[in-house]
Amino acid sequence: MAAGAGSSVDTPLHLRPLLVPKPWGGRRLERFGKDLPAGAMIGESWEVADLDPSATSVEDPVSRVASGPHAGRTLQEVIATDRDGLLGDAPDLDGRFPLLVKLLDAREHLSVQVHPPADYVADHPEVSHKTESWVVLDAEPGAELMIGVASGVTTGSLASAVGTPALVPMLRRVPAVPGEVHHLPAGTIHALPAGVMVAEVQTPGDTTFRVYDWVDKYGRTPRALHLREALRSIELGWEHNLAAASSFGAGSPGRAGAAAGGRVKRRARGTVVDTPHYRIARRHLDAAGTRSVDRGTMRIVLVLDGVLQADAFDHALGPGGTIVLPAAWHGCLRAADESVTWLELTVPPKGNR
């Protein structure tokens, strides 16, 4: 049925975060409302997730509803109950939710890595496509994101450097500035650096090809590298890497973003990332302000700053708080006593992808 009155999924869904320990993780997610296990180094909080367990090393990679009429149910079970009430005109992926949303806390550098683009996935059905975007939440002074390759890097020079420290100077660097948005199309070599926290919005896949893992720098236990797979996946074309760089002002963001099927606005309000897979908007309300939301579109709300309230939802959401607004829900979002800023994520209808 169409999303609307009579749907069984017509109230906001508050999901339990999935906390994922990582060798590079830390404790700063506590500042974003996460109840971390004592002593654990948590690198990721999966806010909205619905992955096939065979596609990831994360145990039970499916979000469950924390409260309300659907408490205890998985996202997949909610979709099975009332697909249109939850998703509206957004496509599901074989009965699964179409986005994966995380918060990341990098106490140490993450591995230098790449996610396979569509042409690689077409030849290797066992892997999953992964395009992602970062919104910087916090950054230590001097921290620099590593996104794409520097001008002049060739396939040959890259092939000789992968797996070694010689790869690092070949990566394009950009200052990590809280509030800025960076789009990483599949095929973009990248690494999240120490001292940075981001919100990561991505297509729901977890295939990662590592090419360098900072083993000597941090004394890590060596993990498998995927050099041959990565070299087939890394996009060296200037237009592609300009698309990844567009978020920090290299060239024209609109033209560069379109080269990789997306547009990026670095710090704007309104729509800041527009891709065939998802859209990210930055919303803001002054103290006591309201935003009316109509039925028909599923939205994910992730609070960046301040406190947000929603009709038919009993809890106030502070920084790091996330809810799914089903397509069948309608009502108002409200700022509490102070102004509030949040991300609003949507998925284009199938015909627009």
Q: Model confidence at 57, in pLDDT bands (50, 70, 90)?
A: confident
Query: Does 40 fall in a domain?
Result: yes
**φ, ψ for residue 183, nearest 5 deg:** -100, 130
User: Which residues span the domain enclosing 146?
Assistant: 17-62+100-267
- The whole-number average pLDDT for the span 190-205 is 97
Burial class (CB in 10 A: 0-12, 13-18, 19+), 22: middle
CATH number at residue 241: 2.60.120.10
Query: Does 335 fall in a domain?
Result: no
Query: Does 22 fall in a domain?
Result: yes
Q: Which residues are known catalytic residues?
A: 210
Query: Does 4 fall in a domain?
Result: no
Q: What is the mean pLDDT of the chain?
A: 90
What pTM was computed for the model? 0.91
Q: State pLDDT tens for residues 216-249.
A: 999 999 999 999 999 999 998 766 666 666 553 3
110: nearest Cα among 217, 3, 234: 217
Confidence (pLDDT) at 264: 55
Q: State pLDDT tens for residues 6-42.
A: 789 999 999 999 999 999 999 999 999 999 999 999 9
- The whole-number average pLDDT for the span 189-204 is 97
Q: How many domains does the chain have?
A: 1
Confidence (pLDDT) at 306: 96
37 within 8 A of 20, measured Cβ to Cβ: no
Confidence (pLDDT) at 229: 97
Q: Which helix (H) or strand (E) holds 95?
A: none
Query: Does 93 fall in a domain?
Result: no
Query: Does 353 fall in a domain?
Result: no
15 within 8 A of 302, measured Cβ to Cβ: no
Query: Does 44 fall in a domain?
Result: yes
Cα separation, 102 vs 44, in Å, equals 6
Cα separation, 293 vs 15, in Å, equals 20
